[in-house]
Amino acid sequence: MSAPAERSPVESFEAHRSALTGLAYRMLGSRAEAEDVVQDAYLRWHTVDPAAIEQPRRYLGTVVTRLCLDRMKSAKARHEIYVGQWLPEPVVDEVFDPDTADDLAHDLSVALMLVLERLSPLERAAFLLHDVFGLDFAGVAAALGRGETACRQLAARARGHIEAGRPRFPASKEEGHRLAAAFREAAESGDAQALARLLAEDAVLYTDGGGKRAAAFNPIHGAAKILRFIAGVSRKNLALQTMQVRAATINGLAGFVMREADGSISTMAFECRIGRIAAIYVVRNPEKLRHVGL
C-alpha cells in the first residue's frame, strides 16, 4: 500500500485558512484586517520549511496571534478616539450551521464580539487560542511569551466574562428571521403598537456610524426609548421610505442590508430571545461596509 501523498505548502496552509481568519476576526473585529493578517501569515509560511514545522496549526496560530496583537496596539488608540458606539465589521451572508450556533468555534455573534472587545488583548488571545482555536496551554504560552499558569489565568478570566455576557436562551434561526420580517413590516407601515409587541422591555439598540454617518452616540436602552428613537428618525428622514432592503444573515443573526437613495449601505441585525427582539445592531460606518453589497 503506497504512502499518502504529502501536502504542498499551499495545501497545508489552506487547510487552516478558515480557522485562522476566524481567529483574527475575533481578535480584531474587522474582517478586512483579519484577511490582511492571514495573508501576511501566508507570506511568512512561504519563508519557512513546512517539513520542519511539526504542528502547522500551532505555528500558524502563533503567527496570526502575534500579528493581531501588533495591530491591536494601534487599534486600541483608534478605539479610544472612536466616535460613538463601536460595533464589529459585519460578516454578511456566510453560512452558519444552526446545530452549532452555541459552539464558540462557530460563534461570530455581535454579542460575543462586544464581550471580546472589553477584554485585554492578552485575555482575548489566551481564550481564543485555547477555547476556540484548540491549542493546549503549552502552545498558548509559546504564542504569548507567558508561562502556562499565567495563560490559564488569562483564559479563565476571559471565560468568566464571556459566559456572563453571552445571551441566554437565544432564538432559533427560524424565529430570528420571523421576528426580523415582522419588525420590517411594522416599521415600514409605521405600526408603533406592533413594534412595541416585538421588543423586549429591556431591549437595546446599538448604532455605529463611526462619526461618518448619523447614529446615536450611546446605546439606547429600553423598548420605549427605542420606539421614540425610531419614530424620530422616520419623521426626519423621509428618504427611508424609498430605501432598498434585502434580508440577510449578519454575524449569524437575522437582519437586513439596506441601501438609501444616495447609495450608502447599512446593516441591521437582531438578537432575539423568548419570542422578542432583545438587541438591534445597526452598522452605518462606511469604512466597515466596503465589502457589503445589496
Cell of 34: 483579519
The pLDDT score that the predictor gives to residue 94 is 67
Q: Is residue 88 part of a domain?
A: no
Q: Which of 165, 187, 204 is the last residue of a domain?
A: 165
Cell of 275: 419570542
Report the CATH number that the domain containing residue 222 is assigned in CATH: 3.10.450.50
Q: Is residue 293 part of a domain?
A: no
CB 99 within 8 A of CB 174: no
CB 129 within 8 A of CB 270: no
| Residue 46 Cα to chain centre, angstroms | 29
How many CB atoms neighbour CB 155 within 10 A? 22
How many angstroms separate the CA atoms of 135 and 61, rounded?
8
Q: Is residue 103 part of a domain?
A: no
> Same domain, yes or no, for 74 and 189?
no
Mean pLDDT of 131-146: 93
Give me the chain's average pLDDT, please: 87
Q: Count structural domains, the chain.
A: 2
> Same domain, yes or no, for 147 and 182?
no
What are the residues facing 199 on neighbouring strands? 277
Q: What would the pLDDT profile of 260-283 be if each residue is shown by its tens digit? A: 888 899 999 999 988 999 999 999
The pLDDT score that the predictor gives to residue 108 is 82
> Same domain, yes or no, for 177 and 69?
no
The pLDDT score that the predictor gives to residue 116 is 92
| pLDDT value at 98 more than 80 | no
Q: What would the pLDDT profile of 220-245 be if each residue is shown by its tens digit? A: 999 999 999 998 887 777 656 678 99
Q: Which of 137, 165, 193 is the last residue of a domain?
A: 165
- Helix 110-118 vs helix 9-28: angle between axes, to the nearest 10 degrees? 80
Please give the torsion angle defined by the CA atoms of residues 139, 105, 152 and 150, in that order, rounded to the nearest 10 degrees.
70
How many CB atoms neighbour CB 145 within 10 A? 12
The pLDDT score that the predictor gives to residue 190 is 86
Q: What would the pLDDT profile of 14-32 be if each residue is shown by its tens digit? A: 999 999 999 999 999 998 8
Of 201, 202, 165, 195, nearest to 180 (Cα)? 195
As to burial, measured by CB atoms within 10 angstroms (0-12 exposed, 13-18 middle, 19+ buried), residue 230 is buried
The pLDDT score that the predictor gives to residue 243 is 84
CA angle 88, 192, 245 (to 5 degrees): 45
Give the structural domain span for 125. 9-81+110-165
The pLDDT score that the predictor gives to residue 164 is 82
Q: What would the pLDDT profile of 153-191 be if each residue is shown by its tens digit? A: 999 999 999 888 777 777 788 999 999 999 999 998 889
Q: Is residue 23 part of a domain?
A: yes
How many angstroms separate the CA atoms of 203 and 277, rounded?
7
Task: Say which residue, 4 or 117, is predicted with more confidence.
Answer: 117
